[in-house]
Structure 1
Amino acid sequence: MDDQRMIRSFLAEAPPSAEVIAEGRRRVLAQAKPRPRPRGTTFRLGLGGLGVATAAAATAVALTVSGGSPASRTMPTTQLTAQQVLLAAAQKAASEPVGRYWHSHVIDGQAYHVAKGDYVITGARHEIDQWIARTDGDDDVFRSRFAGAIPQTSADRAAWQRAGSPSTWRVLSNGQYIAQTATPDKWDLVRTTPAQRKGYEKMLARARKECAAKPRICPAAQQITQAQREALPKDPSALRAYLLSPGGKGGPSAALTNAAHFLAKPGSPKLRAAVFRTLAGMQGIRNKGRTTDVRGRTATALAARSSDARGTFDVELLLRPGTYQVLGTETVLVSGRGAETQGMKPGTVFTQELFLEMGWANTAPR
């Protein structure tokens, strides 16, 4: 069971945070004269009884909405810094209620270039839908499947159709060719009773005890318990090292990915807020502004640059504007090198882990 792949339920739009309002007020007071409004600029108002000064502050930090090129997925913005966004997200997370179940629905995948037709598909799409009970009185429910491969963008779909709309492909992955199909698998269903869950937890406790006595027989990185997770806000350096893994030596791009996995698991409001605050204290994370993910959802993209043998990428943590709901992560190609990114244009979403739903729920699994 892959319990790291989780997602959150959609939240209602939240009012501006204290950080947003303060930054907006600072920008307004710093201007001697109002600047002319560029054409096509849209401001979000409707603050009701908050007053003229607060409305002006919100106007100053509202995002500019305009078109973007395929190679640059983000929209031009007048925006907050990444640190300000993350502190506002921490404030929002600290006030979120808990419920009977942690419900998540996530889908991930990787881009593959199809030479015959010159288009990109998103394949290896693993989909998980699960409900984790908060107490010992309810079952856990876990469903998973491999979803079918699909063309990534509308332009890729048009090229795929011109190529005859094939339903199977052979693509390069990790140095070898693998098969991809457009046909999804059937859902697997696993239901875990409270008694089974206790047995599993006892087995894990025995394994951890054996690992402590003989570390060489165990993997170097072991999954921490829920109790250990909840204790991390009391030790900020340990939380930072965990997000920067392996061994606390990773960079900001690793921290963004690890934070998304961390937030995808059940956790207290205090723990979730601590994760955002830890990210806010890291260098190398920038706010790329408004973007749309591959499902067309509007998001604020917090990014860090990363490179490997396949190319240079922007690793993006996607947050829903206003609510700071985590929508997932995307690794966006900046420049490719090597066989696996050959034929891909800058702006291609090379890997993705999208959270379709994620959050506490009080209804039974459906």
Structure 2
Amino acid sequence: MDDERMIRSLLQEAPPSAEVIAEGRHRLYAEPPRRRRWRTPGLGIAGLGLAAAATAAVLAVTTGGSPTAPVHQAPPRQLSARQVLLAAAEKAASEPVGRYWHTHVISGQAYHVAKGDYVIDGARHEIDQWTARSAQDDDVFRSRFAGAVPQTAADRAAWRRAGSPATWRVLSNGQYIRQTATPDRWDLARLTPAEKKGYDKLVARVRKQCAGRSRGCPQPELTQAEREALADDPAALRQRLLTTSGKGGPGNVLTRAGDFLARPGSSKLSAAVFRVLADAPGIRNAGPVTDLRGRAAIALTARSSDRSGTFDTQLLLQPGTYRVLGTQTVLVAGGRGPETAGMKPGTVFTEQLFLEMGWTDSAPR
């Protein structure tokens, strides 16, 4: 049977117009046979949503109406936060490990400049580090304070109108501090295997001394073995992420999950974190956004309010791969506090963006 006869059979119209034949031919070769059960590797939940949209489009062609009527396709339905997080878990579970866990992160905070009425992104701390999977390899850590910059294109235009200043005096935690556009030089630290062993012994001694004491001791960080054990204990992982979120609620859950995922861990552990988030209340998919680096992202969002205003805390995932691009808090309304006064809705108040994050076999550079 030639393709025009197959299309006529599919459309159940005789004879169809040339436009409908063209549309049918496109559908015939774009979609797999109906009776064949198939699955594209890595398609996940997001892919299932796209397949459903494509099926709806085929039905729009093949049922009722004039053969010359235009084909109207419904826009793809946005996935829920739960669907996105489960798809992220599926992707994370297949990620391979490497010799080093590499993270390059830059964090900052917004400050309003009254003279010129614009916002700068300041207090920008940049960290670039390699954590070795083997105790026999060095860990490498670089850090610096990056220069402050106007936050958006509109802020850059206002900054230029104000004379393009290179320093600012801004309010932070109740006092005025100086911000500069000039970045600091990089600091470099290298932790040898012997130094790592000594550090582990120090941590073990402090943990032993603090055992059973509720005061006077810092909350110990989990060891790598303790972190990995959480992958097989969803209840303990959930308690770790949710009960330590404090009064910030779901917003702090997203921030804490972002911090947790930024540390070295197996693909199994990363997938478990995403699954815990999928069942956490108060998280929604706010749709596509662009972060301060200009990268497209899916924003999983939780809303909260305090005396400074109403904020959306967002966990940013890369579309398609669902890798974590960072976390940020966005001003939704208010600007009532002294540090948010003058800021417009949509201002990114704080951010922690990952320029690179994941396992690699490349040596530190």
Match of 1:79 in 2: 78
CA shift, 1:174, in A, is 1.2
Say whether the 8 Å CA contact 1:102–1:132 is kept in structure 2.
yes
Deviations 1:51-84 (A, max 9, x none): xxxxxxxxx64xxxxxxxxxxxxxxxx4111100
- The separation in 2 between residues aligned to 1:156 and 1:362, in whole angstroms, is 40
Letter of the aligned partner of 2:261 in structure 1?
A: L
- The separation in 1 between residues aligned to 2:246 and 2:308, in whole angstroms, is 24
- Of the three residues 45, 68, 83, the one matched with 1:19 is 45
Match of 2:131 in 1: 132
**1:17-166 equivalent positions in 2, closer than 5 A:** 17-26=43-52, 33=60, 36-37=72-73, 61=76, 78-166=77-165
- The separation in 1 between residues aligned to 2:85 and 2:261, in whole angstroms, is 13
Q: Secondary structure at the match of 1:135?
A: coil
**1:332-351 equivalent positions in 2, closer than 5 A:** 332-335=330-333, 336-351=335-350
Report whether the alignment pairs 1:216 with 2:243.
no
Q: Secondary structure at the match of 1:112?
A: strand
Say whether the 8 Å CA contact 1:147–1:183 is kept in structure 2.
yes
Say whether the 8 Å CA contact 1:117–1:163 is kept in structure 2.
yes
Deviations 1:271-292 (A, max 9, x none): 0000000000112111111111
Q: Secondary structure at the match of 1:201?
A: helix
- The separation in 1 between residues aligned to 2:313 and 2:246, in whole angstroms, is 18
- The separation in 1 between residues aligned to 2:50 and 2:103, in whole angstroms, is 35
- The separation in 2 between residues aligned to 1:347 and 1:248, in whole angstroms, is 25
Match of 2:279 in 1: 281
- The separation in 1 between residues aligned to 2:224 and 2:131, in whole angstroms, is 13
**1:171-320 equivalent positions in 2, closer than 5 A:** 171-219=170-218, 221-246=219-244, 251-320=249-318
Letter of the aligned partner of 1:110 in structure 2?
A: Q
CA shift, 1:36, in A, is 2.2
- The separation in 1 between residues aligned to 2:330 and 2:209, in whole angstroms, is 41
Letter of the aligned partner of 2:296 in structure 1?
A: T
- Of the three residues 321, 324, 328, the one matched with 2:322 is 324
Q: Secondary structure at the match of 1:340?
A: coil
When Rg is computed on C-alpha atoms for both structures, the one with the higher figure is 2
Displaced runs of 4 or more, over 4 A: 25-32, 247-250
Say whether the 8 Å CA contact 1:299–1:318 is kept in structure 2.
yes
Letter of the aligned partner of 1:33 in structure 2?
A: A
Say whether the 8 Å CA contact 1:124–1:146 is kept in structure 2.
yes
Say whether the 8 Å CA contact 1:240–1:248 is kept in structure 2.
no
- The separation in 2 between residues aligned to 1:15 and 1:315, in whole angstroms, is 32
Distance 1:227 1:279, change over 3 A: same
Letter of the aligned partner of 2:60 in structure 1?
A: K
- The separation in 2 between residues aligned to 1:16 and 1:268, in whole angstroms, is 19
- The separation in 1 between residues aligned to 2:246 and 2:147, in whole angstroms, is 36
Match of 1:168 in 2: 167
Letter of the aligned partner of 2:295 in structure 1?
A: R
CA shift, 1:20, in A, is 2.1
- The separation in 1 between residues aligned to 2:116 and 2:289, in whole angstroms, is 27
Letter of the aligned partner of 1:217 in structure 2?
A: G
Q: TM-score, normalised by structure 2?
A: 0.82
Q: TM-score, normalised by structure 1?
A: 0.82
Letter of the aligned partner of 1:317 in structure 2?
A: L
- The separation in 1 between residues aligned to 2:212 and 2:201, in whole angstroms, is 17
Letter of the aligned partner of 2:339 in structure 1?
A: E
- The separation in 2 between residues aligned to 1:81 and 1:15, in whole angstroms, is 22
- The separation in 2 between residues aligned to 1:27 and 1:178, in whole angstroms, is 53
Match of 2:22 in 1: none
Q: Secondary structure at the match of 2:183?
A: coil
CA shift, 1:307, in A, is 1.5
Deviations 1:108-150 (A, max 9, x none): 0000000000000000000000011100221000000000110
Letter of the aligned partner of 2:292 in structure 1?
A: V
Deviations 1:215-264 (A, max 9, x none): 32203x33111111111122212211211243777521111101110000
Q: Where do 5+ consecutive residues of structure 1 fail to align?
A: 1-13, 39-59, 62-77
State, as a whole percentage, how many aligned pairs show the same letter. Answer: 67
- The separation in 1 between residues aligned to 2:137 and 2:42, in whole angstroms, is 37
Task: Kindly indicate whether structure 1 or structure 2 has the higher relative contact order, using CA contacts under 8 Å at least 6 residues apart.
Answer: 1
Q: Secondary structure at the match of 1:259?
A: helix
Say whether the 8 Å CA contact 1:304–1:315 is kept in structure 2.
yes
- The separation in 2 between residues aligned to 1:250 and 1:240, in whole angstroms, is 16
Distance 1:184 1:249, change over 3 A: closer
- The separation in 2 between residues aligned to 1:171 and 1:37, in whole angstroms, is 51
Distance 1:236 1:331, change over 3 A: same
Letter of the aligned partner of 1:289 in structure 2?
A: G
CA shift, 1:22, in A, is 2.9
Deviations 1:289-338 (A, max 9, x none): 11110110011111000112211111111101000111001100001211
Distance 1:247 1:322, change over 3 A: closer
- The separation in 1 between residues aligned to 2:269 and 2:247, in whole angstroms, is 22
Q: Where do 5+ consecutive residues of structure 2 fail to align?
A: 1-39, 62-70
